Structure 1
Amino acid sequence: MTVTVRELRPDATSDIERYVQVRHLALPYMFFSRESVVHELSRAHPDAHSRKLVAEEDGEIVGTAQIGLAHDSPEPGQGFLNVYIDPARTGRGAGALLVRTAEEHLASHGARKLFAWVLDEPGNRAFAERRGYRASRCAHFLVLDLAYGTLPPLQAPPPGVEVRAAADFADDPRPLFTLDAETVSDEPGDIDAELDDYEAWLTQTWHHPLLDRELTTVAVADGRPVAFSLAHTDGARRYRSGMTGTARAFRGRGLAKLVKNASLHRARAAGFAEAHTGNDADNGPMLAINKWFGYEIRASEVRYVRELG
Structure 2
Amino acid sequence: MTVIVRDFRTEDAEDAEGFSRIRRLAVPYILSTPESVLHDVTHAHPDAHVRPLVAEEDGEIVGTAQTGIVYDSPEPGQGYLNVYVHPAHRGRGAGSLLTRTAEEYLAEVSATKLFAWVLDEPANRAFAERRGYRASRSAHFLRLDLANGSLPPRREPPAGVELRTGTDFADDPRPLFALDAETLADEPSDIAHEFTDYEAWLRETWHHPLLSHELTSVAVVDGRPAAFSAARTDGGTTYGTMMTGTARAHRGRGLAMLAKNDSLHRARAAGFTEAFTGNDSGNEPMLAINKRFGYEICATEVQHVRELG
Q: TM-score range by the shorter chain?
A: over 0.9
Aligned positions, number:
309
1:217 aligns with 2:230: no
Q: How does 1:10-89 map to 2 (within 5 A)?
A: 10-89=10-89
Give how far 1:16 is off: 1.4
Q: Which residue of structure 2 lines up, in the alignment, with residue 105 of structure 1?
A: 105
CA contact (8 A) 1:141 1:279 kept: yes
> 1:23-56 CA deviation, whole Å, 9 max, x = no partner?
1111111121111111111111000001111001
CA contact (8 A) 1:238 1:272 kept: yes
> 1:143-197 CA deviation, whole Å, 9 max, x = no partner?
0001111110002111100000010000000000011111111000011111100
Q: Which residue of structure 2 lines up, in the alignment, with residue 263 of structure 1?
A: 263
Which SS does the other structure have where 2:229 is aligned? strand
CA contact (8 A) 1:132 1:306 kept: yes
CA contact (8 A) 1:238 1:274 kept: yes
Q: C-alpha separation between the residues in 2 aligned to 1:65 and 1:155?
A: 43
> 1:111-155 CA deviation, whole Å, 9 max, x = no partner?
000000000000000000000000000100100001111110002
Q: C-alpha separation between the residues in 2 aligned to 1:84 and 1:5?
A: 13
Return 5+ residue gaps in structure 2 as ranges. Answer: none
Q: C-alpha separation between the residues in 2 aligned to 1:180 and 1:259?
A: 14
CA contact (8 A) 2:16 2:35 kept: no
Which SS does the other structure have where 2:211 is aligned? coil
Q: Which residue of structure 2 lines up, in the alignment, with residue 161 of structure 1?
A: 161
Q: Which residue of structure 1 lines up, in the alignment, with residue 116 of structure 2?
A: 116
Q: Percent identity?
A: 70
* TM-score, L = length of structure 2: 0.99
Q: Which residue of structure 2 lines up, in the alignment, with residue 240 of structure 1?
A: 240
Q: Which residue of structure 2 lines up, in the alignment, with residue 204 of structure 1?
A: 204
Dislocated runs of 4+, deviation >3 Å: none
* TM-score, L = length of structure 1: 0.99
Q: C-alpha separation between the residues in 2 aligned to 1:46 and 1:8?
A: 17
Give how far 1:236 is off: 1.2
Q: C-alpha separation between the residues in 2 aligned to 1:236 and 1:90?
A: 29
Q: 1:264 is aligned with what amino acid?
A: L
Which SS does the other structure have where 2:275 is aligned? strand
Q: 1:277 is aligned with what amino acid?
A: T
Q: 2:193 is aligned with what amino acid?
A: A
Q: C-alpha separation between the residues in 1 aligned to 2:168 and 2:14?
A: 36
Q: Which residue of structure 1 lines up, in the alignment, with residue 143 of structure 2?
A: 143
After superposition, the CA RMSD in angstroms is 0.6
Give how far 1:103 is off: 0.5
Q: C-alpha separation between the residues in 1 aligned to 2:48 and 2:26?
A: 25
